[in-house]
Structures are given as C-alpha cells and as structure tokens.
Structure 1
Amino acid sequence: MSLLEVTDLTKHYPVRQGIVMARQVGTVRAVDGVSFRIERGETLALVGESGCGKSTTARLVLRLIEPTSGTVRFDGQEVSGAALRTLRRRVQVVFQDPYASLNPRLRVGETIAEPMEVHGIGDAKSREARVQELLRLVGLAPFHAQRYPHEFSGGQRQRIGIARALAVQPDLIVCDEPVSALDVSIQAQVVNLLKDLQRQFGLSYLFIAHDLAVVRHMADRVAVMYLGQIVETAPKRDLFAAPRHPYTRALLRAIPHPDPRRRGQVTPLGGDVPSPMNPPSGCRFHTRCPFVQDICRKEEPVLRDIAAGTRVACHLADTLPPFEAEIGEGLSAVATKRLALYAAAKDRRASGIR
C-alpha cells in the first residue's frame, strides 16, 4: 500500500465578471485530473513550467485548499473530515520562500515549538529540548532558538523551515521548490541535508522543482506536468535517459549545455503556454509539439503504461524518434558539476564548516 495516493485530483477556479451581480464567465483549470502515488521512503519530483499547477497540486495534497473533485488517500485512508487532523501531523511542508514562510514576530524556538503545541506533543520542558535537538540536526546551534528570523541568512532560514517541518515527526514532507530562492552553494547544503534526513528518518518527499539537475540528484521517480495535467511519470533513470513525451524532451533540451560549441544547436520550444481558461482540444501540448498529428488535435490522450514504471499521455509515444544523445550528455555534464558541488558542501558540513 502506497503512503500517498492521489486520484483524479481537480481544482477549478471560477472567473467572475461584475461587481454587484457577478456572473461566472469562465473557469481556470489549474489542476485537471492529476493522479500519482508516493511510496514510503521515496522521493517523487514534480516538474514543469511555471503556472502548470505544481504548487496548486501540493496545496491540494496538504488540504490547504479544497479540491473541486478527486481523492487523496494517506496510508490507505481518505483524507477528509476527522482524518484531516491526523494528516496535519503526518504531512508537513517546506515552503519556497524562506523569508515569507517564517513569522517575523516569533523567535526561532517558538516557531519550531508551535506545531508541537498545536498537536499537544510533550510539555514545555520536553518541547524546549526537542527544539534544541532539531536545531543541531539541521546544522544550527541551540542558542539560535532565541533569535528572530531577520537575523538569519536565506539558507539558515530554510534550515529553520525544515526543522519546523520535522518537529512533529512526519512521514511525508512536501518540498515546494525549497532551494529555488537560494544561491547554488547554499542549494547544495540544503539538498544534502534533505537527503541525509530522509535516510535517517525514512521520510518520503513530494519534491517540486525547476532545476532538473537538482531533481536528478534528489528524486527516485519524476512526474512531468503541463497545463494542469501529468503527461509523463517514470523512474528517474529512465526519464532522463529516454523521455517518451515531447514536452519532457523539450524540458531537457532547455538545460544549458556546458560546451559553448553546442549551445546554439538546439531549437528552443516555440509558442506560448495556452490559457488554462481555454485549453486546446485534444492533447494540450499539440499547439507547441513538433511531432503533432491530426489525432493530437482531436483526441485527448490518456496516461497509459508503455514500459515498466513509465506512463505517458501521448498518442505518438511509441513512434517518436530516439532522444538526442548529446542532450543527455549535456545534462550529465551539468549534473556532474552540480554533484561535485554537493559533495564539497557535504564535506564542509562534516568538518563543521557552514
């Protein structure tokens, strides 16, 4: 049984016109029939362009917003009503912005202790000891508990956010682009910290990111979203080696190649993302797809199994030409450099250098 199962999750926002007698003139299909699962101890990365619905999906899983339709099952139990309180304790979140996600009026110790107070965990003395333990765990010192958020750097604030998420001993942490607001060297430290914590506590992650080099380092499986729908899911190794959906290929092509002689050889994906108020008929990607056929304009593809662990929503997935090897080589070179940076950051952490 999977830890998290999401089935046909949908979120539509009505668009209204007028002030007094506002009437609905349209619907924004922010998330439109998303399904996926996360196993215990697994990291599922959710990737796609800005505005495709990744963060909305995360908030639906957390029930920070109510879905229009669909179900979320956590540990076999549908999340609704009385089950929500259990979900709040077992599923936590690390937000994208380390500056906006912390209350500037609370000391760090109060911020980390607050979830334990809400869920009635321990007494004041045990919570204080737990706060100090968590601060050490994320690479900060116990005396930092008495400081305010404005006294910390962005990377330190994100460590505080991670400590807060760990306070109630969750099973799943939703990481909503946790490193995108940080510079590369700090990203390395935070990514290594997340992986260390996963090994230590058996955590599962729903990891939302734009940086595919980070995804390649963090994820076990990858789900690709486009215009509110998942178009491909696959194990990390398979997706980066042989992507089966044209949009996934376009995302990989967008990664800068470290060899300057090859940087101008790839034609970027043309066109703009269609409006989620009026998505195209058939395949939503057909207006930008270089392989488009008549069937793509008429019939919406379903997410189907085409290989072990790989599901693709594309009529032409079985007939596409092989993925260009040089793109994979370029990604490998970028990822190798990034991994070297992560390893250096880990060595500095082990030696006590922050």
Structure 2
Amino acid sequence: MTTPLLELRSVSKRYPVYDGMVLRRQVGAVQAVDNVSMTLMRGETLAIVGETGCGKSTTARLAMRLIEATAGQVFFEGQDITRCTRAEMNPLRKSMQIVFQDPYASLNPRMTVGEILSEPLNVHRVGDAVSRKRRVEELLRLVDLAPYHAERYPHQFSGGQRQRVGIARALALSPKLIVCDEPVSALDVSIQAQIVNLLKDLQHRFDFSYLFISHGLAVVRHIADRVGVMYLGQLVEIGSKQDIYRNPRHPYTQALLAAAPDPNPAARHNVAPVAGDIPSAINPPSGCRFHTRCPMAQDRCKAETPTLREMSTGHQAACHFAEDTPVYEAARHTQHPTPGLLMRQAIYASRRAAA
C-alpha cells in the first residue's frame, strides 16, 4: 500500500480562553479543530472548504506544524512530525511550503523580489551566490515574470504579480507539499483564473501535492482531485471531486453548493442555502454541530455525534441520515468549469453583491 505524503490522525486544536486581568483563570476553550483525520497522496490536490471560522486554515497550519496540535498526530512521508524536535523539523521544512492569502502582507516590503526569493535558499544553505541568482531567475520565469523583476520591490507589482512572487518563493526549495491558504480570494476576478491555471500547470510539471484552502467552490472544482468539507472544526464530508459536486450526502455540503454564485440568474436547485449563523466554537452544540441549522435534524442529531461513514469507495459523510438526504439537483454543477466559466461566475457574484 502506498504511504500518503501527508496524514492527519484525530488532530485537534484548542485555544484556551482566560478571564481576569491579575488572577487569570481558564474559563473555556475555542475548539478550532476537533478530531480531524485525512490523507493526501503524492501529486494530489486535496481542497478544504467551509464557512469562515470552520477551521480550514488552522488545519493547514497544523499539517505543516506551524502551530502545535492539542491532540492527535501528523505524519509526513510516514514520519510523525508532531514528535520531531526543532532540529529534526528543519530539514523537513524544505519539503513543505505555503502560499498565503494576502500576497502583499506575506512579502517583506523592505526586500527586493530577488532577496525574497533568495531568502529560503540562504536559510537552508542551498548553493552559492551564483547558483542562487540563477535559481531566482528560473523561479521568476516559472511564474511568468521576467528576470529584471528581481530588482523591484513588492509595492511595484499588481496583486496578481505579487501572488506570483509568493508562488515562486514556495517553489524555491522544490517542495513535495504546498499549502495554498485561499491564494486567489484577495485577487481581482479577472486574475483568479490565471493564478489557478498557473498552479495547475506547475503541479503537472513538478508533481508536488497541494493542500488547497478556499471559499470558492468553482475554483475548488477546477483544481481539486478530492474535497473535504469542514463545519465548526469538524470534517463532515470528504470524497472525490465528482462525489462532492454530483452526489453530496451531507446537508451542509448541499447547502454550500446551493449558495455558490451561478452565472445564470435563472438557475434553480432543490436545496436552500444554509440559514442562520454559525454557533460559537467556545460552546458548540451537542451531538451533530450542524443540527441547529439543518433542515433534516431530529432528536438523535442533538444527542449523538455522527462519525464519518463510508457512502461509497473513498466517499465519507458524518450524518446520521446521509442515506436519506435528497438527491442534489443542480445541472449547473455538471458543466466543466473552464477559466471562462470561473470568471463569469465571479463577475455574476460581484454584480449580485453590488445590486
């Protein structure tokens, strides 16, 4: 059996909440991530979607051990990195990199692009000055920028160009895993498709894996091989792209798909978008955390926490009544999401928001 590149086993993250200024005492904890398990294979793209505050970005940072897990284990190439010392982690850092959401905030404004791209090479002592300069020029060409851009500062670039610099920096050490934390959400709609296509082309060329965090379901369908859906810190459904978009079994997944913008205003589907506000992560609901907003909720949902169950090969859902969930009908999701469709969806969404 092939060993996954990345594996999370029952990973949780809780942030303590304190009361008092002098005599501080813990009064609760924010359950940012709760008992999440997933795998990522070599050359695969696993996307994680969900509402703001559901724990997507925290899960990504736990996977890279940028933050420490409260419980559970994270394996990278079969090695439990939650037990690694700092000295043992340093060599592994070369194999796992991240592209941040805000391409301006993630770049040092006092450094030129050449210095930014050279920094990981300097830190990990890769090559000499001459080879590093050649590597910087190579990285710029890979992301469709010119070698002379190395002399410029981040503020001299557009948002899309800055994100290309961020992608180039992530490629500098030839990683095996790149975490993309909402890499296109801060960009103009006309640039998003270009960046997504660039990410796909680079993956095809270098065969690394993506852990892709996003709100944009159209973007996720264009780039992902598998999709995991999170709600209030828990993984509620995971499966192949075809399973999630054509046959979602969790009511929350169906509601997310129904809420996605459609370039055709006349489009109709049989599931209403999710209503109400997401509960507090400090005091989440008992049982199924989605039961306070779920149209299918019953007494069992309030008392018993559902576990991920196999719906079909590789398709799991955490719902007591997943087999009884109405078939999701939305012809729009059967259309292949070309870059033009992605752009039309985004433009329609922005127009609807402005109306």
| Residue equivalent to 1:251 | 256
User: Normalized against structure 1, the TM-score is what?
Assistant: 0.92
| Residue equivalent to 2:309 | 304
- Cα offset for 1:261? 3.1
| Residue equivalent to 2:349 | none
C-alpha change, 1:133 and 1:336, in structure 2 (3 Å) is closer
| Residue equivalent to 1:31 | 33
The AA in structure 1 aligned to 2:278 is V
C-alpha change, 1:190 and 1:321, in structure 2 (3 Å) is same
CA distance in 1, matches of 2:310, 2:333: 26
CA distance in 1, matches of 2:269, 2:315: 31
Secondary structure of the 1:335 match is coil
- Cα offset for 1:258? 3.1
- Cα offset for 1:266? 5.7
Say whether the 8 Å CA contact 2:203–2:209 is kept in structure 1: yes
5+ residue gaps, structure 2: 345-355
5+ residue gaps, structure 1: 343-354
- Give the alignment of 1:192-271 within 5 angstroms: 192-262=197-267, 267-271=272-276
4+ residue segments displaced more than 2 Å: 256-268, 330-342
The AA in structure 2 aligned to 1:202 is D
CA distance in 1, matches of 2:262, 2:341: 16
Among 82, 97, 100, the residue aligned to 2:102: 97
The AA in structure 2 aligned to 1:36 is M
Say whether the 8 Å CA contact 1:175–1:206 is kept in structure 2: yes
Structure 2 residue 65 is matched with structure 1 residue 63: yes
Structure 2 residue 291 is matched with structure 1 residue 289: no
Among 72, 77, 80, the residue aligned to 2:79: 77
| Residue equivalent to 1:10 | 12
Say whether the 8 Å CA contact 2:48–2:227 is kept in structure 1: yes
The AA in structure 1 aligned to 2:50 is G
Structure 2 residue 142 is matched with structure 1 residue 133: no
Residues 119-158 of structure 1: per-residue CA shift (max 9 Å, x gap): 1100111000000010011000001001100000000000
Say whether the 8 Å CA contact 1:257–1:334 is kept in structure 2: no
| Residue equivalent to 2:111 | 106
The AA in structure 1 aligned to 2:151 is Q
The AA in structure 1 aligned to 2:42 is R
How many residues of Structure 1 are paired with residues of Structure 2 in the alignment? 339
CA distance in 1, matches of 2:233, 2:23: 30
C-alpha change, 1:251 and 1:146, in structure 2 (3 Å) is same
| Residue equivalent to 1:42 | 44
Quote the RMSD (CA, aligned, Å).
1.7
Secondary structure of the 1:121 match is coil
Give percent identity, aligned residues only. 62
CA distance in 2, matches of 1:11, 1:261: 42
CA distance in 2, matches of 1:337, 1:189: 8
Residues 94-138 of structure 1: per-residue CA shift (max 9 Å, x gap): 000001000000100000010011111001110000000100110
The AA in structure 2 aligned to 1:14 is P
- Give the alignment of 1:148-159 within 5 angstroms: 148-159=153-164
User: Normalized against structure 2, the TM-score is what?
Assistant: 0.92
CA distance in 2, matches of 1:339, 1:84: 42
